[in-house]
Amino acid sequence: MNPFEPNAEPREGPGNGSVSAASALEGLAIAGAQRLSSVRLTSVVAATLRAAIDLVLGEHPSRPLTVAWDDGALEITLPELRLDHLTAAASLLETIGGSLGAAREGRSFLMRVPVAGPRSMYLMLEQATLGIAIPWHSVMRIRLIEPQALEALARREGCPVLPPFVTAPSTHVERPAVLVALGLRRAFLVADRLVWRMPATPAEDEGMAPGANLGPAVRNAEGEVFWVVDPARLLKGVDPAPMPAISTPPRPTVKAPSEPPIERPEPLRTAPAEPAMIELRPEDVEPLRDPEPSPPPARPMRPGRRALVVEDSIVGRIFLQRLLESQGFSVEAASNATQLRHILGAARWDILFVDVALPDSPRGDHLRTLSGANAVALVRDAHDEKLATQAGVRLSLRKPFERGDLLRVVEALGLQGETA
């Protein structure tokens, strides 16, 4: 099985069928696992993941694991592990494109593996005129950062900055830096523009890849071609990232009358950390500056069109805001229900895009304040769609957002641009 093969659909059959993540992790204490049965893994990924977890946890883990997932990756946070089996577990995960390393905050560890789906998920980027696609489960972090700040960050974390596939004129503006991971290895790959996380299918007859570390070409829903980054080749020769220093409190030694002191080591433990799927932090992106001015919109809107985007994922907010602005909207953004309530009465909005689950309103209660408005619910699955319908919001947009679907929603509300 090649986890980087585009559009590698899980096929039923011996060794190739998909199973639920709940089955793969059965018997483990897991916090927040209520919806794990909806997450599918190929049989190979499920078996390898479980073997890696058992290696680093031992027989009697004392703390529950935490999980998080989206339509491209499953993350498992381990608050404790056995460092003596860390390398072996990471080697197992490499065979399925997975990774293992220190979590972003605290001193926990994070496993990240691909989920099974009808289409492969990628993070799309541009280096100069070259479009590249990084398998989403290989992406550990995304930051918009200035070059000098990135160099300092890379030194601090012990992760090198990889040379670009295409050399562009150097600038001092913020650019997307993606932390790519495989097994224990991590490195930053810098681009000129962040496009979006989206599914893609194989692009036929595109010829030879333009770089040694690039794989086959894929095409997104808009017909744009991107070249898949192969993390195994990209990270070849990169040393494993340094692990956080872990200390355990000293245990008192017990002396037998005629024997030397005996010390029995305890399993190494770390502080638990809340899992969070990968996204940009506010300090990473605000104020956001594009390396080049955006081109004028092809279909300008009538003056005064205003849109509000309420989404706690910063990557999602950036994507929706840029796309709506390219269609002539004046856009404001918020990240939680409290901000939504304050903003609603401050101006007239022609269209509102509101996430169903916000940090301070996870059950979608804030949607009931949108009655009578041109509101669109941002949903992840059928459960979210049901919450939106019950709250009276009739239009929805599935995550990850696709440009065509978004424009169809805008058109359905009669807000599409006017031709000149």
Q: Is residue 191 located within the same domain as residue 109?
A: no
Here the CATH number for the domain that contains residue 361 is 3.40.50.2300
In angstroms, the CA 168 to CA 222 distance is: 25
Q: How far is Cα 395 from Cα 289, in angstroms, rounded to an integer? A: 32
Token pair for 221 = 């829903």
Let me know whether 204 and 314 are in one domain.
Answer: no
Q: Are residues 141 and 202 in the same domain?
A: yes
User: Which phi and psi (to 5°) does residue 190 adopt?
Assistant: -100, 140
Based on the number of CB atoms within 10 Å of its own CB, is 200 exposed (0-12), middle (13-18) or buried (19 or more)? buried
- In what helix (H) or strand (E) does residue 92 lie, and over which residues does it extend? helix 86-94
**The last residue of a domain, from among 99, 114, 129:** 114
What pLDDT band is residue 222 in, cutting at 50, 70 and 90?
confident
66-118 pLDDT per residue, tens: 898 888 899 999 887 778 889 999 999 999 999 999 886 567 899 999 999 88
pTM: predicted TM-score of the whole model, two decimal places: 0.65
**Are residues 323 and 396 both part of a single domain?**
yes
Mean pLDDT taken over the chain: 78
Kindly state the DSSP code that residue 265 receives in the 8-state scheme.
Answer: P
Task: Say which residues have a Cβ less than 8 Å from residue 204's Cβ, sequence separation at least 6.
Answer: none
Q: Give yes or no: residues 74 and 125 share one domain.
A: no
**Higher per-residue pLDDT: 99 or 277:** 99
Tally of structural domains, the chain:
3
Range of the domain at 380: 300-412
- Residue 351 is inside which H or E element, if any? strand 351-355
Distance CA 82, CA 58 (A): 7
Q: 3-class DSSP state for residue 408? A: helix
What was the pLDDT predicted at 310? 92
Rounded CA separation 307/227 (Å): 33
Same domain, 316 and 337: yes
Which of helix, strand or coil describes residue 367? helix
Q: Would you place residue 169 in the very low, low, confident or very high pLDDT band (cuts 50, 70, 90)?
A: low
Last residue of a domain, one of 79, 114, 149: 114
371 Cβ contact partners less than 8 Å away, ≥ 6 residues apart: 392
Q: Which residue in the block uniquely carries the two structure tokens 């190494």?
A: 268
Are residues 221 and 331 located together in one domain of the fold?
A: no
* 245 located within any domain: no
Amino acid at 329: F
Residues 139 and 197 in one domain: yes
Query: Per DSSP, what are the bridge partners of residue 78?
Result: 109
Confidence (pLDDT) at 76: 92
Q: For residues 187 and 108, state if they share a domain.
A: no
Q: Are residues 146 and 64 in the same domain?
A: no
Q: 133 and 221: one domain?
A: yes
Q: Calculate the CA 12 to chain-centre distance.
A: 27
Q: Looking at 114, 145, 164, which one is the last position of a domain?
A: 114
Whether residue 92 is found in the same domain as residue 134: no
Structural domain contains residue 373:
yes
